[in-house]
A and B are shown apart, each in its own frame.
Chain A
Amino acid sequence: MSWWPLIKLLPQKTNFHFVKYARYAAVLSIVLCTASIVACFYPGLNMGIDFRGGAVMEMTKTDNSTLDIGAVREAVGDLGLGDVGVQGIDSASSAIVRFQVPEGEAQNAVVTRVQTAINQAVGQVRYSGVSVVGSKVSGELFTSGLMALGIAIALMFAYIWFRFEPQFGFGAVAGLLHDVILTFGLIVLFKLEFSLNMVAAILTVIGYSMNDTVVVFDRLRENLRKYKTMPLHDVIDLSLNETLSRTIITGVTAVMVLAALALFGGEALFGFSIALMFGIIIGTYSSIYVGAPIILLWGVKRGELVEDAKAIKLGMASRP
């Protein structure tokens, strides 16, 4: 069993010249980011009711017979509630209905009207989940959601600046923005619903992406101190190669687990898990091809770093 544990198969020392391809990667990243930003406005995000306001109801025929989705759509459409969406789920007897609650009308009155119309059109139906969000609340949720994303990125920048160097901070934030923008792009591309849960997913992607970046930066800082005369791009290559096995193992674990979540977690977790999975893949890529090359672009004052290193070591030593 010379192949097991598998980790032995992973070469301990790889010598990929990551930096060499950085400029091609940069072009790719810029193109994809631009495309994602454009996509966020046109065609635009598929906003869930959390952020747009409106209602979602999940329903099942009481006798479990096949539900006539067309009839439901027609019945609800006739009520003149604007944007109506009816979508079949799991079994043929269930569906999800989405509609808007017109300004100034009481939520429960509208919900009752819709339920009555559906019952008349397709017979007895039971509702297993009803969510209605008013336009005032949805606006607030949207603002606080975006604010959370903004503050998260700002805090990460501050953290990296504090723990490393400003250049590292810029590199990390460029990587973060890259990940967040591309995740938005994916959400648009796959028409995933942008909801509160999705904001949580993106925040987690931010956390993970930073986690990954920090591991690489940590090694980079260590190597910068160790090899004082080695050219910067070689040090970056070396650090990326040294952390590569960890990057791959952790990334693969996370992606596999999230795939399980997407497959078995049901409707409610599907979009969430897909976005997380994609974000983690992107986050791994960005810590190699966005974070580190930006440091190269900017340059690091090596002398200063050595001074800083002493200060940090002192700081570490005094920690309990």
Chain B
Amino acid sequence: MIQLSRWKVILLSIALFFGLLLAFPNALSPAQRAALPGWLPSNALNLGLDLQGGSYLLLEVDTAAMRTKRVDNLAEDVRVSLGEARININALQREEGGVVATLADPAQANAAFQALRQLASAGATQGGVQERAATRLGDNRIRYAFTQAALDGMGATAVDQSIEVVRRRIDSLGTREPSITRQGAERIVVQAPGESDPAALERVIGQTAQLTFQMVDSENSVQEAAAGRVPPDSELLMGEDGVTPYLVKRRVLVSGENLTRASVDADQSGRPAIGFRFDGVGARRFGEATAANIGKPFAIILDGKVISAPTINSAITGGSGIIEGQFSIAEASELVNLLNGGALPAPLRVEERRIVTAELGADAVAAGALSTAIGFAIIVVFMILAYGFLFGGISVVGLVLNGLLIVAAMSLTQATLTLPGIAGLVLTFAVAVDANVLIYERMRDEARAGRSVIASMDAGFNKAMGTIIDANLTTLVAAGIMFIFGAGPVRGFAWTLTIGVFTSVFSSVLVAQVLLAYWLKIAKPKKLPIAESAR
């Protein structure tokens, strides 16, 4: 084992070459890295948000709220559609995923069933299959509900759509390299590094941006409703000031889904307003609704707040118009971005946020670098004091290669280096010399047992190897568990530890083997320098 074997030298040279190649982009500035030719590796260490600063947001898609809202709309559709067919209902009970209508006159059951079946087939489909279905329950009751498939798909679709919308919105802020990923069934992780403004980030993510146009209920009094007597087909909403109450019809005339474009515009007196344009369906519905309600006010509602409630002067058939409100230019343009990015299908709740400024991140990097350097120096001094220039020095060479390989592997895999990860790195150095210590101590044992220099070195390597592997496998198991169960920074730590285990066993053992073999060949020693002097 101690004979100088060619493949070990070759292996070591290859490792050194790739280590240098992959680690060197870290020595360059970002501009220099960008200028590297494509065939050269150009990835530097990927610093975690705690080191480079940035925002981490864990969002939960409130699918329950979305389901409630969609059942609301469905109930409204039933009410309107049965009303148009002149069918009286005694009750409209809500249940999981739909409603059950109890008819006043069982004789109308067939007509009602037909009306609802038509409504279902006119509604949205999912891959050609209807999302909603009408079922008869006994003589005078009809159930109208989302199909099970639609209900099942709703959550997943909502999360997918939310990710898309969030991405568009963050892009509109001009954030550099945001990472938006799904976590579990109903969660989204947003990570935006660097100098991004966390407040703006949260503002654009936090708004659902659901825009609807609904008629104002002018037949009933707002005061009555505010006192608790809200008519069943109307709802009480607040204005943007949060004080002025509005009573509006539940039925949605047109919603943001039919919007093709929003832009910053100005009203007649030059104040900022929002211009909008509907698609074909939206324009037709809006045209019909405005034609039927001339002289009455309608409400423009954003996320449950009435932005404005203008009176319809004439039918608006062109499918475009402006929304007046109390906007500043900045608010208007943010709202335009939101509307163009599309509405979130469900509200997002921030469940966890971690925001670190770049300044604090830089402090952490400085502290991490300083303590790594000091830790490294301590090991170097200690190993040389303990084992002398030769044996101690050899472990230091192994340690340097180890450090190089870790940086190279982390840069290559783009694993995130976090602050605890730096601590893991420092600890890895300490445990890396353990392999050398195990080998050297074994050699000393063998020398004491009276073996020759070569024999004791050989036996030292052979016997220590099993222990080294056993001992490092345990660290690997611990790191694996951290990786599976840990979150964020802990994962970074686990990854650093894992890479460190491989590189440290590789470099400590191989470097020692090759360098000691050279030493044996050149110096032809009579005794082991680390063995007890003969007394």
Question: Which A residues fall within an 8 A CB radius of B?
Answer: 2, 4-8, 11-13, 58, 106-108, 126-134, 136-137, 141, 144-145, 147-148, 151-152, 155-156, 159, 163, 196-197, 199-200, 203-204, 206-208, 210-212, 214-215, 218-219, 242-243, 245-246, 249-250, 252-254, 256-258, 260-261, 263-266, 268-269, 272-273, 276, 316
Kindly provide the distance from the CB of A237 to the nearest chain B CB, expressed in whole angstroms: 16
Q: With contacts A141-B487, A253-B433, A254-B427 known, what are 11 further pairs, Cβ within 8 A? A: A7-B386, A132-B353, A137-B352, A204-B497, A210-B471, A211-B431, A246-B437, A250-B430, A257-B378, A261-B423, A265-B423
A-B contact pairs, 8 of them (CB 8 A): A13-B448, A107-B353, A127-B357, A155-B481, A200-B494, A214-B470, A246-B434, A269-B368
B-side interface mostly: helix
Once the chains bind, are A250 and B433 in contact (CB under 8 Å)?
Answer: yes
B238 lies within 8 A of chain A by Cβ: no
Total A-B pairs in contact (CB under 8 Å)? 235
How far is it, in angstroms, between the C-alpha of A250 and the C-alpha of B437 when the chains are bound?
Answer: 7
Report whether B431 and A108 are in contact in the complex, using a CB–CB cutoff of 8 Å.
Answer: no
Interface residues of B (CB under 8 A from A): 50, 58, 60, 198, 202, 206, 349-357, 359-360, 363-364, 367-368, 370-371, 374-375, 378-379, 382-388, 391-392, 419-420, 422-424, 426-427, 429-431, 433-434, 437-438, 440-441, 444-445, 448, 466-467, 470-475, 477-479, 481-482, 484-490, 493-494, 497, 529-533
Assess the A7–B387 pair: CB atoms within 8 A: yes
A interface, over-half SS: helix
**How far does the Cβ of A268 sit from chain B's closest Cβ, in whole Å?**
5
Question: Taking A136-B351, A272-B423 as contacts, is the C-beta distance between A129 and B356 under 8 angstroms?
Answer: yes
Are A12 and B444 within 8 A (Cβ)?
A: yes
Q: Is the CB of A264 within 8 A of B477?
A: no
Chain B residues within an 8 Å CB radius of A133: 351-352
Known: A2-B533, A258-B427, A260-B371. A12 touches B448 (CB 8 A): yes
Determine if B434 and A211 form an interchain contact, defined as CB atoms under 8 angstroms apart.
yes
Question: 5 closest pairs, A vs B, by CB?
Answer: A207-B478, A5-B388, A266-B367, A148-B485, A210-B474
Query: Is A128 within 8 A of B386, CB to CB?
Result: no
Identify the closest chain A residue to B56 (Cβ): A131
When distances are taken between beta carbons in the complex, the residues of chain B under 8 Å from A197 are 420, 489-490, 493
Do residues A204 and B353 form an inter-chain contact, with CB atoms below 8 A?
no
Whether A130 contacts B355 by the Cβ 8 Å rule is: yes
**A141 partner residues in chain B, CB cutoff 8 A:** 487
Q: Is the CB of B385 within 8 A of A265?
A: no
Contact status of A272 and B479, CB under 8 A, knowing A108-B202, A131-B354, A159-B474 = no
Q: Which residues of A contact B387 (CB under 8 A)?
A: 5, 7
**Which residue of chain A has the shortest Cβ distance to B468 in the bound complex?**
A215
- Measured between alpha carbons, how far is A134 from B59 in the docked complex, in Å? 10
Q: Which of B420, B477, B497 contacts A155 (CB 8 A)?
A: B477
Q: What CA separation (Å) do A164 and B532 show in the bound complex? A: 32
With known contacts A107-B350, A196-B487, A269–B481 Cβ distance under 8 A: no
Closest to B493 in A: A200
Decide: B374 and A196 in contact? CB cutoff 8 A. Answer: no
B contact residues around A107 at 8 Å (CB): 350, 353
Q: Are A134 and B371 in contact (CB under 8 A)?
A: no
Minimum Cβ distance to chain B for residue A208 (Å): 7
A159 & B473 in contact (Cβ 8 Å cutoff): yes
Knowing A159-B473, A197-B490, the reply to whether A5 touches B367 (Cβ < 8 A) is no
Residues of A within 8 A of B485 (CB): 144-145, 147-148, 151
Contact of A257 among B350, B352, B379, B466 (CB under 8 A): B379
Scoring B356, B440, B470 by chain A CB atoms within 10 A of each residue's CB, the highest score goes to B470
Please indicate the chain A residues that have their CB under 8 angstroms from the CB of B206 in the complex.
108
CB distance from A318 to the nearest CB of B (A): 14
Please measure, in the bound complex, the distance between the C-alpha atom of A29 and the C-alpha atom of B495, giving whole angstroms: 33
Task: Point out the residues of chain B lying under 8 angstroms from A257, CB to CB.
Answer: 375, 378-379, 426-427, 429-430
CB atoms of A273 and B430 under 8 A apart: no
What's the least CB distance linking B418 to chain A, in Å? 9
Closest beta carbon of chain B to A198's beta carbon, Å? 10
Question: B471 touching A211 by the CB < 8 A rule?
Answer: yes
A265 touches B368 (CB 8 A): yes
Bound CA span A18–B359, Å: 52
Minimum Cβ distance to chain B for residue A142 (Å): 11
A132 to chain B, nearest CB (A): 5
Could you tell me if B374 and A260 are in contact, using CB atoms closer than 8 angstroms?
Answer: yes
Contact A152/B355 with A245-B441, A256-B378 known, Cβ cut-off 8 Å: no
Residues of A near B444 (CB, < 8 A) are: 7, 12, 245
A141–B352 alpha-carbon span in the complex (Å)? 11
Select from chain B the residue with minimum beta-carbon distance to A276. B427
- The residue in chain B whose Cβ has the minimal distance to the Cβ of A2 is B533
Please give the distance in Å from B475's CB to the nearest CB on chain A: 4
Residues in B with CB closer than 8 Å to A204 are: 424, 427, 478, 497
- Which chain B positions have C-beta within 8 A of A8? 530-533
| Chain B neighbourhood of A145, CB < 8 A | 485
A273 to B470, CA, bound (A): 25
> Closest A-chain residue to B355, C-beta based?
A130
Are B420 and A269 closer than 8 Å at their CB atoms?
Answer: yes
When C-beta atoms are compared, the residue in chain B nearest to A143 turns out to be B485
B382:A211 contact, CB within 8 angstroms: no
| CA of A112 to CA of B356, assembled, Å | 16
Contact A261 B371, beta carbon cutoff 8 Å: yes
What is the bound-complex CA distance between A159 and B471, given in angstroms?
Answer: 11
Query: In whole angstroms, how far apart are the Cα atoms of A134 and B385 in the complex?
Result: 51
Residues on the B chain within 8 Å of A131, using CB? 353-355
A211 and B472 contact, Cβ closer than 8 Å, known pairs A199-B486, A257-B427: yes
Cα–Cα distance between A243 and B441 once the two chains are bound (Å): 8
Are B471 and A272 in touch, CB under 8 angstroms?
A: no
B363 contacts which chain A residues (CB < 8 A)?
A: 266
The chain A residue sitting closest to B470, CB to CB, is A214
Cβ A200 vs Cβ B379 within 8 A: no
CB distance from B62 to the nearest CB of A (A): 12
Q: Which residue of B lies closest to A217 (CB)?
A: B470
Of B440, B474, B488, B497, chain A has the most CB atoms within 10 Å of the CB of B474
Partner of B474, one of A126, A214, A316: A214
Question: Chain B nearest CB: distance from A101 CB in Å?
Answer: 10
| Cross-chain contact A264 with B367 (CB below 8 angstroms) | yes
Q: Look across to chain A and name the residue whose beta carbon is closest to the beta carbon of B369.
A: A264
Distance, CA A8 to CA B385, complexed state (A):
11
Which of A136, A163, A264 touches B371 (beta carbons < 8 Å)? A264
Contact B378 A260 (CB under 8 A): yes
Q: Using Cβ atoms and an 8 Å threshold, which residues of chain B touch A108?
A: 202, 206, 350
